Amino acid sequence: MPLRHEGCTLNAHVITADLARPEAPDQIRAELQAASISVDILVNNAGFALYGPFIDANPQTEAAMMQVNMATLTQLTRSFLPGMVQRHWGRILNLSSLAGFMPGPLMAVYYATKAYVLSFSEALADELHGTGVTVTALAPPATRSGFQRRAAMEDSKLVQGRIMDARTVAEAGYRGLMGGKAVVVPGLSAKLLAFSVRVSPRWMVTRIVRRMQERVS
């Protein structure tokens, strides 16, 4: 789906900020205000993961992950949502994950952060009904990108073989965002999995995810 149209001029205003720092959202808001830029569409796409047992994880890196995946996302939403409501139009896209529907042994905190994003987005979408502002949670399955290398999980069974490409995910997210859908799960198999884990015993789901997450022997 084309995101550009011939004849349109798109101007980029670049702000450099470390989203793992709690003050980053305020910095971004202040710089945009100084440039007289209002935000009508917010895409909270930043995030990263850690792979391995919780007990072995670096606490500082894990805290930074929670800040980026949850706190910064929430702060940026709070920063720009009032203006959208005042203008009676706005779109917010929060990147969750298929992981948000289930517990994730060997990536316990990452899965929990994505569950937060999913729950937060669905609740906020309901609160904003009738305001002209919509919130969409994009919950893709494993997607080919630099994510796996950053998380040191390239030999996890979960990402072996054919997984979804980033363009397909982005296009599904864009369509859902502009259509005002509350939750977007790209791919039929991912949709079926998201439904099945909601009706399956939690202990069973947890064990299955553990097997999927283990390293290839």
Which residues belong to the active site? 110
Which strands form 90-95's sheet, in the order they lie side by side? 41-44, 90-95, 133-138, 183-184
> How far does Cα 213 stand from its chain's mean position?
19
Instruction: For residue 2, give both structure tokens.
Output: 């084309």
Burial of 175: CB neighbours in 10 Å, binned 0-12, 13-18, 19+: middle
For every residue of 154-181, DSSP letters joined together read TTBGGGSS--EEHHHHHHHHHHHHHHT-
CB 132, CB 83: distance < 8 Å: no
